[in-house]
């Protein structure tokens, strides 16, 4: 294990870096070497840090049960919709082809396909996305990489962030996870749609992280 601030090699039991004094978190790779600088002449406590190095690095934690259960309402809705819509079309095709299938088999087939297919896609998609996701908080900006098939790096300046909030869902609380949302002015995207801010999902020790995020962005 190495300190993210100065690169000094650390022991597995280290609480602070022996070289620069940075506090070290032991929550896996979720938060590593979180800096705790002191207040300096009334300025922001992070003003004296080198902007080329992140003050805090966060990675989301993938919990299969949280990923699957979080889409349960949509899973039920699309199971009913898919069974009725695709099952009805399939029934006409079966009758037209003269196939001798049990009554209601087309509805059951599509219902099962949606019921098991949706959580499978969510599991696979979120797992691959989280593997490529990392959030690096610098003194004046957030640089993050997200992606599924490929990662894309983006940057948000703190002065563009208008609001921050923390949400801990029912399933997240069981594993001490939470989601931090950072709002920015809406920007037009594509066909008249808009996007505002980012969601830093499924982070460990959310209250502790959220407190440090607010100190950095100032809101």
**What structural domains and CATH numbers belong to the chain?**
31-60+133-217 (2.30.29), 66-127 (no CATH)
pLDDT of 55:
86
Q: What is the mean pLDDT of residues 41-55?
A: 58
Q: Are 183 and 196 in contact (CB under 8 A)?
A: yes
Is the pLDDT assigned to residue 165 strictly greater than 80? yes
Q: Which of 148, 136, 142 is nearest to 217 (CA)?
A: 142
Asked whether the predicted pLDDT for residue 184 surpasses 90, the reply is no
pTM of the model: 0.62
Q: What confidence tier does 7 reach under pLDDT thresholds 50, 70, 90?
A: low
The pLDDT score that the predictor gives to residue 4 is: 59
Query: Mean pLDDT across the chain, nearest whole number?
Result: 78
Within 10 angstroms of residue 72's Cβ, the number of other Cβ atoms is 12
Give the pLDDT confidence score for residue 154 in this predicted structure: 87
């Amino acid at each position: 294990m190495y300190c993210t601030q100065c690169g000094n090699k650390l022991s597995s039991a280290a609480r602070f870096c022996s070289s620069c004094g940075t506090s070290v978190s032991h929550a896996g790779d979720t938060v590593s070497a979180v800096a705790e600088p002191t207040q300096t002449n009334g300025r922001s406590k992070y003003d004296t840090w080198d902007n080329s190095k992140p003050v805090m690095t966060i990675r989301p934690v993938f919990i299969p049960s949280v990923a699957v259960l979080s889409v349960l309402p949509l899973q039920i809705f699309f199971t009913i919709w898919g069974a009725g819509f695709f099952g009805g079309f399939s029934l006409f095709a079966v009758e037209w082809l003269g196939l001798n299938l049990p009554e209601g088999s087309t509805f059951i087939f599509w219902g099962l396909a949606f019921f098991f297919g949706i959580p499978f896609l969510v599991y696979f998609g979120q797992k691959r996305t989280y593997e490529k996701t990392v959030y690096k908080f610098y003194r004046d900006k957030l640089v993050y990489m997200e992606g599924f098939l490929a990662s894309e790096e983006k940057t948000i300046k703190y002065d563009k962030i208008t609001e921050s909030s923390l949400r801990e869902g029912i399933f997240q609380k069981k594993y001490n996870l939470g989601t931090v949302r950072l709002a920015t002015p809406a920007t037009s995207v594509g066909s008249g749609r808009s996007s505002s801010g980012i969601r830093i999902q499924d982070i460990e020790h959310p209250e502790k992280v959220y407190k440090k995020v607010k100190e950095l962005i100032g809101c």
